[in-house]
Amino acid sequence: MKHKIITLISQIIANLFMIMFSITCIFPLVWMLYSSMKTQQEFSLDIISLPKVLHFDNFIAAIKVGKMHMFFGNSLFNSVISVILIILIGFIVAYFLSRYNFKLRNAVYVLFLFGMLVPVHSLLIPLFIQFKVLHLLDQRFTLIFPYVAFGLPMAVFLFESFIKSTPVEIEEAAYLDGGSTSTIIFKIVMPVCRPVISTILILSFLNSWNEFPFSLILLRKQSLKTIPIGLSNFNGQYTVNYPQLMAAMVIAVLPVIIIYLLFSKRVIEGMTAGSVKG
C-alpha cells in the first residue's frame, strides 16, 4: 500500500512538472498572438494583460508598411526550392552510398559527415568572396546554394541509415521483373523512406526559413530579403512598435507551425529510423 502511494505521488509530481513545462513552451506563442492585437499604448502599460479590443490593424500595417508579403514570398521561394533539392539530391546520393561499394565510397560519406561539423558562420566571408567573384550576389537563386549545401549532410546521413536498414530483396525482385534503376529508386525505395522525408522536410524548412546570416551578407537588394531580415526592419532607431512586430512574427511563424503539425507524427520515426537494423 505504501509503495502504491509513493508511486502515485511520483506520477502526480512528474505530470505537474510536464504540465508546467508545456505551459512555458506554449505561453510565448499565445502571448505573441494576443500582443499582436494590442495598441502600442496598451502594450506599454502592461505587456502581459489581454487586449480590451482586438486590433487587426497591426497585421495590415505589417503587410503594407513592413512589406511582410514580399519577405514572406522570398522566404517561401527559397525554402521550398531548397527543401526539394535537398530531399532529391540527398536521397539519390544516400541510395548509391548505401547500395554500392565503389572505391571512394567511404571518402564521400565522410566528406558529407564532415559537412555537419563545419560552423556555418566561419564560411560567411569565404562564401561572400566566392559569390562576388562568380557574380552570384543579389540573385533570386543566391540563397539556394548555401541552403542546399548545408542541408545535404544531414539528409544524406538520415537517408543512408534508413535505406541501409531496408531489405534489398524488394529491389532484387523488381530487377528480376524488368524494372529499371530509376523506377526502383523513385517508385519502390523512395516511398518507403516517407518517415525520413518528413523529418528532413521539417528540419530543412526550419533551417531555411529562419536563416539570417546568409540573407544579410549575400543579398543587398531589399526586394530579395527574407523574413528574418524583414523582422529586423521593425526596430526603429529609438523606439520599437512591438504590437506590429508581434503581428509580423505571427505571419512569419504560421508556415512553420502548419508544416510541423502536418508532419510531426513522422519526425521521431524518421530520426530513429535505421538505428535498429533488421
Sketch the domain layout of the chain as residue ranges. 56-272
User: What is the predicted pLDDT for the residue at 120?
Assistant: 80
Nearest to 241 by CA among 52, 75, 57: 57
Say what the pTM is: 0.84
DSSP 191-249: HHTHHHHHHHHHHHHHHHHH--HHHHHH---GGG--HHHHHHTTB-SS-B-HHHHHHHH
User: What is the predicted pLDDT for the residue at 182?
Assistant: 85
- Which phi and psi (to 5°) does residue 235 adopt? -90, 110
Domain boundaries 56-272, CATH class: mainly alpha
- pLDDT tens track of the chain, all 278 residues? 667 788 888 888 888 998 998 888 889 889 999 999 998 888 888 888 888 888 888 899 888 888 888 999 999 999 999 999 999 999 999 999 988 888 888 898 888 888 888 888 888 899 999 999 999 999 999 999 999 999 999 999 999 988 888 888 888 888 887 778 888 888 888 988 888 898 899 889 999 999 999 999 999 898 999 999 988 877 765 567 888 889 999 999 988 888 878 777 766 665 555 444 44
